[in-house]
Structure 1
Amino acid sequence: MRSVRGAVAKGRDFTRQALRDWGWDCRESAEDAVLVVSELVTNAALHAHGCHELVLTAGETLHIDVLDGEKVLPSPRAVPRPGVPGGHGLHIVQRLSDRWGSYAHATGKVVWAEIEASRLASRRPPGPH
């Protein structure tokens, strides 16, 4: 994925299709999942040499992994300033997901988030997408 706009749009489209395939597109929290993906992919594009891979896994949770090429782990700014651009992404991820975190790997890092399946739909979907 080359540009921020292109990467984020592809990530949102991929997420919406996966949620639709899994029957998890009926609740408002499905849009929360799309926004979490948007924020994580945007952060990777702006701060970490781009999003190398987006992985969504369905089970008891929707597990979102964004792999990038930067080993420095993210941390939310202490207090984002209202009306000032930037610095809000990880706060949005924290508010909309049930859990999130990050870890380094050989060529960069993974920033992940989880949303409980019970928030997305009443039926449990099949395997990874």
Structure 2
Amino acid sequence: MPSDPPPSGPALRVAVLADLPNAGTACAEGRRFVGEQLWRWEVGLQVADTTELVASELIANAVRHGRPPLRLALRLHRERVRLEVTDSSPRPPLLTRPRLTAIGGRGLWLVDTLSVEWGSYPEPPGKVVWCEVPVAEPLLPMA
């Protein structure tokens, strides 16, 4: 997992949910936000579904292991969707392989599997955890 964000160039579209609740409703609110934005931006359903799933996992980790405030940013690029979740804990995420009998612990494994790239970087007082989901067909620049 890289510790710094890759160069991503200018985004075609950006949307931010600046005050994500640190509660049980956070994942649902984040998924709804991501789904609505990607629908507005006319991103395909499969890409939107995948992005909603990884958003849910990153938000769940921020709620479980991080501290408020939580923030969700979505950036649409020509060939990918970048998702960023910010929390106030400086501890970086750790990708592990849970035992088959474990009830949880598969969130980052899903993010690692479904994203073309993911990582984290410090943003005092905490960190940003990001991932990028490929867009099946490169998007034309939006006016």
Contact kept, 8 Å, 1:16 with 1:25, in 2: the verdict is no
Q: How does 1:20-59 map to 2 (within 5 A)?
A: 20-26=39-45, 28-50=46-68, 52-59=70-77
How many residues get paired?
122
1:98 pairs, out of 111, 116, 138, with 116
Compared CA separation, residues 66 and 12, structure 1 to 2 (3 A): same
1:47-102 alpha-carbon deviations (Å, 9 max, x no partner) = 0114610000001220100000100111111x222242121110000001110000
In structure 1, what is the equivalent of residue 34 of structure 2?
15
Counterpart CA distance in 1 for 2:83 and 2:38 is: 12
RMSD: 1.8
* Unpaired stretches in structure 1, ≥5 consecutive residues: none
Contact kept, 8 Å, 1:100 with 1:112, in 2: the verdict is yes
Contact kept, 8 Å, 1:74 with 1:102, in 2: the verdict is yes
Deviation larger for 99-108 or 42-51: 42-51
Percent identical: 34
Compared CA separation, residues 124 and 66, structure 1 to 2 (3 A): farther
**Aligned to 1:80, what secondary structure does the other structure show?**
coil
Contact kept, 8 Å, 2:34 with 2:48, in 1: the verdict is no
1:6 Cα deviation from its structure 2 partner: 0.6
2:123 aligned with 1:111: no
Q: Which runs of 4+ in 1 moved over 6 A?
A: none
2:88 aligned with 1:69: yes
2:95 aligned with 1:86: no
In structure 2, what is the equivalent of residue 2 of structure 1?
22
Counterpart CA distance in 2 for 1:23 and 1:31 is: 13
Compared CA separation, residues 43 and 124, structure 1 to 2 (3 A): farther
**What TM-score, normalized to structure 1?**
0.86
